[in-house]
Amino acid sequence: MPPTTRVLKFTDTLADINGVCRFIQNIAQTAHDTNRELKVFTSTRLDMPQVDNLVNFTPIFAMKMPGYDTLDFALPPLIAMLRAADEFRPTVIHISTPGPVGMVGMLAAKLMGVPIVGVYHTDFPAYIDELFDNRFASSAIRLLMGTFYKQFRFVFSRSADYAHRLESIGIDKDKLIRLTPGFDNTKFDATLRDPSIWDQHAIARDSIKAVFCGRVSTEKNLPMLEAIWPKVVERVEQAGKSIDLIIVGDGPYRTQMESNLKDHHAHFLGFRNGIELATLYASCDLFIFPSTTDTLGQVVMESQASGLPVIATDQGGPKEIINDGSTGFVLPVDQPDSNERWIQTIVELALDAPKRKTMGAAGIEAMKSYTFAESFKHYWQVHERVGNLQSE
């Protein structure tokens, strides 16, 4: 009889507000609710979710990430974390992030002779490209990421697009597994639509609302959205309508973007979560996601489940969970006429309420198959397989 699967997950991000954290928290909660043997180790000074299988080790040092005041860089207590890992006696170690906590997970796996599995959540090489435009730095980070992930038994990719990118940094395709995409679709629902939510933000109830949700940073391609938005507003107003841009999230680009769009119907709401986030989604009319660096884009699933047609790029994972022309539009960002195509598409969708309703309904239907239960089932089966192979 195979041994009980015991998964120990190491992550540098758990208490932050982003899609990766929500994914990890959902994994932990689902494991807890289904009596799976899983623990999550992290090290942060941020407030933690209260779930029995989440363990936070007080950092020996922590500081704000340079350029990211909303993110922490923390050094975990190595000995305490290794001792706790040994006491748990995992059959598989899962590393979610290649940061200091992830490195402790790597060391624990080596010392205990336990196989490693991980998810490629964040495209760090692409982030370096966007933030620094430095070819040497990009090449160095690709080499480091390749070296890091080559030590894993399996690497989950959130999308087919990123499976190819992982191959490009030297990961054997036999180690790559596309994780069944899923999100907590019990929390996002078009029936939560409530126009009165705009009163507290001094935004007109009857305007068309286009929403972006995510980190407000250049790697999300927000400079492009900033550049085209005034023209969107102008054309919608020429048609006798009004439109507002709702930005949910925070990050290093917020100050500049907020300043540049202060006279163009743009509203920056900061971090929102839970029922408030779900209500904001449902109370908007379309979702704009210009990022080219997302491995999947959980917000793209959440917004479609909330009845919003989505406009996203043809780069990265989000395009794989949009039915182009049915639940949204997939548009290029690197062609000479890309900006004009984005402007036209946003304006046409903003002015066509029946089309938004039809596409929103199609999105709701499409997202019914992206349950987190199915994603977790696949996630756990792979860990069981790895643990059983190790014991043979």
Q: What is the pLDDT of residues 16-64, one digit of tens each?
A: 877 888 889 999 999 999 999 999 999 999 888 888 999 999 999 988 7
Q: Residue 246: is its pLDDT beyond 90?
A: yes
The pTM assigned to this predicted structure is 0.88
CATH-assigned architecture of domain 190-367? 3-Layer(aba) Sandwich (3.40)
Tell me: domain 6-182+371-391, CATH 3.40.50.460, correct? no
Q: Residue 1: is its pLDDT beyond 60?
A: no
Task: Supply the mean pLDDT for the chain.
Answer: 92
Eight-class DSSP state of 134:
-
Same fold, 6-182+371-391 and 190-367: yes
| Residue 286 half-sphere exposure toward CB, CA atoms < 13 A | 31
Q: What's the pLDDT at 213?
A: 96
Q: What's the pLDDT at 130?
A: 60
Domain residue extents for the chain: 6-182+371-391, 190-367
Q: Quick one: CA torsion of 358, 364, 368, 372, rounded to 10 degrees?
A: 150
Least confident range of 167-171, 176-180, 204-208: 167-171
Strand ordering across the sheet containing 54-56: 54-56, 37-42, 6-10, 92-95, 116-120, 154-157, 176-178
pLDDT above 90: percentage of residues in the chain = 74
Ramachandran angles phi, psi of 217, nearest 5°? -150, 160
Dist CA 370 CA 378 (whole Å)? 12
